[in-house]
Amino acid sequence: MATNGVSDSLFKMPTIKFTKLFINGQFVDSISGKTFETIDPRTGEVIAKISEGTKEDVDAAVAVARDAFDNGPWPRMPGLERAKIMAKWADLIEENGDELAALDTIDAGLLYQFSKFGIPTGAAGSLRFYAGAADKIHGEVLKCSGEFHAYTLMEPIGVVGHIIPWNVPLAAFFTKVAPSMAAGCTMVLKPAEQTPLSALFAAHLAKLAGVPDGVLNVVPGFGPTAGAAISSHMDIDMVSFTGSVETGREVMHAAASSNLKAVSLELGGKSPLIIFDDADLDKAADLAFFGMFMNKGEVCIAGSRVYVQERIYDELEKKLVEKAKAWIVGDPFDPKTHQGPQADKKQFDKILWYIEHGMKEGATLLTGGKSIGTKGYFIEPTIFTNVKEDMRIAQDEIFGPVMALMKFKTIEEAIKSANNTRYGLAAGIVTKNIDTANTMSRSIRAGTIWINCYFVIGGDIPFGGFKMSGFGGKDLGLDALYKYMQLKSVVTPIYNSPW
């Protein structure tokens, strides 16, 4: 395995322009005046001090979002007008794409190339997709059984609180913001405390694009303070959360015990990739490797349980090890690098703990298993074999570059194993047999099934989990637009009505 930590020659540090809360179209200090440090995972050093939002700041942001929803132009303007502003914002995102991508690279350890790829697709792409739908929102005319005429209206749900994670900061931001804006909602968004930079830059561009003040407010801060203030707020109509199961539970609890706001949860995963013995082995190895180690395994849909049919197991194992040896972990700005640092120290320690635990549980470490270098949070791509399904490395979401490789004999066994998880976010199937593919797709309880591909995500494909991977409406696809709306029935008497 080639490893080089951070090569100084390619070390880049974009200028940090925005470090304050974005409320009512202005960058402001937090009410307490407190700040927190955001850390560069390449080095463990401080990038910048960020204003720390707490409950009082969330209250201030919600007050302006409420006013913008109840009295402002955004929910009332024709969809086409919202679309124009969103499309302008998308253009600005692309124009500033290099800088935005670099912010996610230094804040979250994303490969710069990956981060840049996400600008036209995940960020501007989401804005354009939902902008295209903003003027096509409509209800339907109902055929009533009585002497009544009735129809439905689709209305924005109101003020939305978005709480997002740190693994793909800008993509997560637009996954939430784009559909809710197109729907006509106003919002308060809390980026993860590890990765506030790109959200603040994006908010600045929103203002330049003409998003009215108060529609989008960004309050960086910590979960138990700023996050909890959002999920328990009496004036927020919906909380849309992406993160861990444990925190999702707290968010739902706070929503239930405050104003019963609507809740949408996109939580973790432990997704299976199932490789049948009719597969092209090189392609299957590519998919398995990419499906696991893309973005250093810090993806909720990572294919972290790889099931390989008995006859091809040994050969596939060999190919995966070869790939791991050629995998370059190091400077995320270097175009030759395959894997950057884990997003933060907590995550780095957690992954190393799981690797240690996997060995203690009796799994065999096939390759990797160690951290790299003396600074930053780099970890080798790690593959375990001889994994039993009840081991924690096969059940828990590690959210790091750790693959559990397992064997199966029959399709029945593959189905049972794939479903042997509390999660249900995604699954991959590699086979040339259409019957096998169809049977597997229908039998696996997961929100997305990829056949002979992996990680294919886009604005036009609904995304979200089954089981403990979440509920409350999909992210992405037109479904995400509708989750930020509520349906109203309007009824009126017609001819001969007793009314």
Strand 402-408 relative to strand 329-330: parallel, antiparallel, unpaired? unpaired
Q: Which stretch binds ligand ADP (CB under 6 A): 90-98, 161-169, 208-216, 416-424?
A: 161-169
284 binds ligand ADP (CB under 6 A): no
Q: List the one residue out of 383, 351, 259 whose CA is nearest residue 1.
A: 383
Among 190, 233, 323, 474, binds ligand ADP (CB under 6 A): 190
Rounded CA gap, 207 and 185, in Å?
A: 16
Question: Tokens 């302008």 sit at which residue?
Answer: 88
Which C-beta is closer to ligand ADP: that of 345 or that of 445?
A: 345
> Catalytic residue among 193, 266, 298, 317, which?
266
Return d(Cα 368, Cα 402) in angstroms, integer.
9
Kindly calculate the radius of gyration of the chain based on its CA atoms and give it in whole angstroms: 23
Q: Single out the residue of 228, 316, 403, 427 in contact with ligand ADP (rule: CB under 6 A).
A: 228
Smallest separation, CB 490 to ligand ADP (Å):
36
- Sequence-distant (6+) residues with CB within 8 A of 223 are 163, 193, 247
Task: Determine the interface stretch with ligand ADP among 239-247, 306-314, 378-386, 472-480 (rule: CB under 6 A).
Answer: 239-247
Shortest spacing between CB 58 and ligand ADP, in angstroms = 11
- Based on CB atoms, which residue is closest to ligand ADP, 363 or 398? 398
Q: Compose the 372-391 pattern: x for residues touching ligand ADP by CB under 6 A, - for all others.
A: --------------------
What's the min distance (Å) between Cβ of 57 and ligand ADP? 14
Tokens of 463: 């995304």
The amino acid sitting at 379 is I
Q: Is 266 a catalytic residue?
A: yes
Q: Which stretch binds ligand ADP (CB under 6 A): 60-68, 89-97, 106-114, 158-166?
A: 158-166
Residue 393 contacts residue 382 (beta carbons within 8 Å): no
In DSSP terms, which residues pair with 371 in a beta bridge?
A: 379
**Which one of 25, 184, 227, 470 is in contact with ligand ADP (CB under 6 A)?**
227
CA 437 to each of CA 111, 421, 449, 452: distance values in angstroms, whole numbers, following the listed order: 32, 20, 10, 9
In 3-state terms the chain splits into helix, strand, coil percentages (rounded to 5) of 40, 20, 40
**Does 244 help bind ligand ADP (rule: CB under 6 A)?**
yes
Smallest separation (angstroms) from ligand ADP to the CB of 9: 32
CB 215 within 8 A of CB 197: no
Give yes or no for residue 225 binding ligand ADP (CB under 6 A).
no
Distance, in Å, from the CA atom of 78 to the CA atom of 137, rounded to the nearest integer, reads 10
Contact positions vs ligand ADP (CB under 6 A)? 163-165, 190, 192-193, 222-224, 227-228, 231, 243-244, 247, 250-251
Give catalytic residue positions: 266
